[in-house]
Amino acid sequence: MTVIATPASLQAPKLKALPPLSLYIHIPWCVKKCPYCDFNSHAAPGDVVEREAAYVAALTRDLETAIPQIWGRKIVSVFFGGGTPSLFSAKSIDAILAAVRTLLPLDNYAEITLEANPGTFEAQKFADFRAAGINRLSIGIQSFNAQHLQALGRIHDDAEAHRAIKIALRNFDNINLDLMYALPNQTLDEARQDITTAATYGVPHISAYHLTLEPNTLFHRYPPPLPDDDTAATMQDMIEKTLAEKNYTNYETSAFAQTGYESRHNRNYWLFGDYLGIGAGAHSKISLPEKITRQMRYKQPQEYMTQAMNGTPIQEQHEVDRDARSFEFMMNALRLRDGFKVAMFQERTGLPITAIAAQLDDAERRGLIVRDHQHIKPTLLGRRFLNDLLQLFLRA
């Protein structure tokens, strides 16, 4: 394991209180790798069913190893991400959650989310997921257009997308649909049709992401023809207006929710909360009164399983110095439409708000934020030019 030391001169003050703690569980396998995906996911091997039990055992051992770092802290949310967690059986998901409940204090009303791919939907399986304790489902629809799904390399078609939502609605009250826009050769009308179709189902949460060409992806090496920036911006405006008319609140850059259905797990990320990540390549942010530590597990599934069973799942870790604390807090919190309370900056970073006074003054002069003594939030201009706003805090 690589440990990066932090010079004493850069160490931040102690935290007076620890933030909420979430649990992220990474399932690394998919039926196949999508050409735009830069997550730590791998095409499922032929013996994935045999590996499933070994991976569950590794996750449990990983969790046992992590207990001393988070002893006594309650878990407020759990998120199964991937990869495609719905590849696993409901029995395996149940076993993982049983280990979580045995080893950690889990809040009685914890949000427990499972990511699912429409190509893996079976009616009984998803009823069993609900029985295992999953209470929120996040479905990777991406588009309802068959041609666009094919261009994105998805394993499902438009009919399977509709079928998956109908199965989900029979078993879950809390559902998120993931959509993407600015797809290869996509028109504004096609983007509108996707978002309108999603809203018509009445699910309480919709995420709409701009397709970006990430390094180390097939799309980055062989870029497809994408809408230009002006067209993509028009699509974003259309999505925001369409969903507002359907009573969805755009509470975060890419997230839209009906009242009371904002993602608690993701809000904890955006407000610089803590999270323990277990599984291949999972990241963690763990606070102690005297330091904040970031960790990464081994990425390759087999190596991760070996290391986890040996009690050494962490490949890299480092302390977050005072400058990084300021930037990381702002990078996340300014994604939220309503911003954050001033007191939370000091509570979560250990630093006074005066540590970024010059940057806040600059952002306010440029019309990118509005603030008073209690609250700071991005303006519409700040949300549109979020990267420019965040660049200011790199100098903090």
Q: Which of 214, 235, 268 delimits the end of a domain?
A: 268
Cβ-based burial of 162 (10 A; exposed 0-12, middle 13-18, buried ≥19):
middle
Q: What are phi and psi of 300, to 5 degrees?
A: -70, 130
**Tens-binned pLDDT, residue by residue, of the chain (396 aa):** 665 555 544 556 789 999 999 999 999 999 888 999 988 888 888 777 779 999 999 999 999 999 999 999 999 999 999 999 999 999 999 999 999 999 999 999 999 999 999 988 888 999 999 999 999 999 999 999 999 999 999 999 999 999 999 999 999 999 999 999 999 999 999 999 999 999 999 999 999 999 999 998 999 899 999 999 999 999 999 999 999 999 999 999 999 999 999 999 999 999 999 999 999 999 999 999 999 999 999 999 999 999 999 999 999 999 999 889 999 999 999 999 999 999 999 999 999 999 999 999 999 999 999 999 999 999 999 999 999 999 999 865
Classify residue 253: in a domain, yes or no: yes
Q: Please identify, among 225, 246, 268, the residue that sits at the C-terminal boundary of a domain.
A: 268
Domain-embedded: residue 191: yes
Distance, CA of 18 to CA of 73 (rounded, Å): 9
Query: Tell me, what's the pLDDT at 368?
Result: 98
Residue 323 maps to a domain:
no
| Domain count across the chain | 2
Instruction: Specify which residues 81 forms β-bridges with.
Output: 26
Other residues' Cβ atoms within 10 Å of the Cβ of residue 200: 9
Pair 234, 378 in one domain: no
247 with 351, same domain: the answer is: no
Of 238, 268, 298, which closes a domain?
A: 268
pLDDT of residue 394: 87
142 CB neighbour count, 10 Å cutoff = 26
Please tell me the predicted confidence (pLDDT) of residue 263.
98
Q: In terms of residues, how long is the chain?
A: 396
The Cα–Cα gap between 379 and 386 comes to: 10
Residues 227, 349 within the same domain = no
CB 11 within 8 A of CB 289: no
- Assess whether 125 and 264 both reside in one domain: yes
pLDDT at residue 32, rounded to an integer: 87
281 falls within a domain: no
**Could you list the residue range(s) of the whole structural domain that residue 111 is in?**
2-268
- Residue 49 is assigned to a structural domain of this protein: yes
The reply to whether 246 and 389 lie within a common domain is no
Q: Tell me if 92 is assigned to some domain.
A: yes
Provide the CB-side half-sphere exposure for 1 (13 A, CA). 19
- Is 206 inside any structural domain? yes
pLDDT at position 242 is 98
Whether residues 139 and 226 share a domain: the answer is: yes
β-bridge partners, 288? 291
- Residue 323: the pLDDT is 86
Burial class from Cβ neighbours inside 10 Å (0-12, 13-18, 19+) for residue 366 reads middle
- Asked if 285 and 329 count as a contact pair (C-beta separation under 8 A), the reply is no
What is the Cα–Cα distance from 72 to 75, expressed in whole angstroms? 10
Q: What is the 3-state secondary structure (H, E, C) of the chain?
A: CEEECCCHHHCCCCCCCCCCEEEEEEECEECCCCCCCCCCCEECCCCHHHHHHHHHHHHHHHHHHHHHHHCCCCEEEEEEEECCHHHCCHHHHHHHHHHHHHHCCEEEEEEEEEEECHHHCCHHHHHHHHHHCCCEEEEEEECCCHHHHHHCCCCCCHHHHHHHHHHHHHHCCCEEEEEEECCCCCCHHHHHHHHHHHHHCCCCEEEEEECCCCCCCHHHHCCCCCCCHHHHHHHHHHHHHHHHHCCCEEEECCEEECCCCCCHHHHHHHCCCEEEEECCCCEEEEEECCEEEEEEECCCHHHHHHHHHCCCCEEEEEECCHHHHHHHHHHHHCCECCCEEHHHHHHHHCCCHHHHHHHHHHHHHCCCEEECCCEEEECHHHHHCHHHHHHHHCCC
- Considering the domain architecture, whether residues 363 and 263 belong to the same structural domain is answered as no
Which residues are CB-contacts of 120 (< 8 A; sequence separation ≥ 6)? 31, 84, 86, 87
* CATH number of domain containing 234: 3.20.20.70
Q: Is 325 a member of any domain?
A: no
Q: Is 166 exposed, middle or buried (0-12, 13-18, 19+ CB in 10 A)?
A: exposed
This prediction has a pTM of 0.94
**Domain co-membership, 239 together with 155:** yes
pLDDT number for residue 223: 92
Tell me: do 355 and 261 sit in the same domain: no
Residues 150-194: pLDDT tens digits?
999 999 999 999 999 999 999 999 999 999 999 999 999 999 999
Same domain, 210 and 347: no
Q: What is the rounded distance in angstroms from the CA atom of residue 185 to the CA atom of residue 151?
A: 9
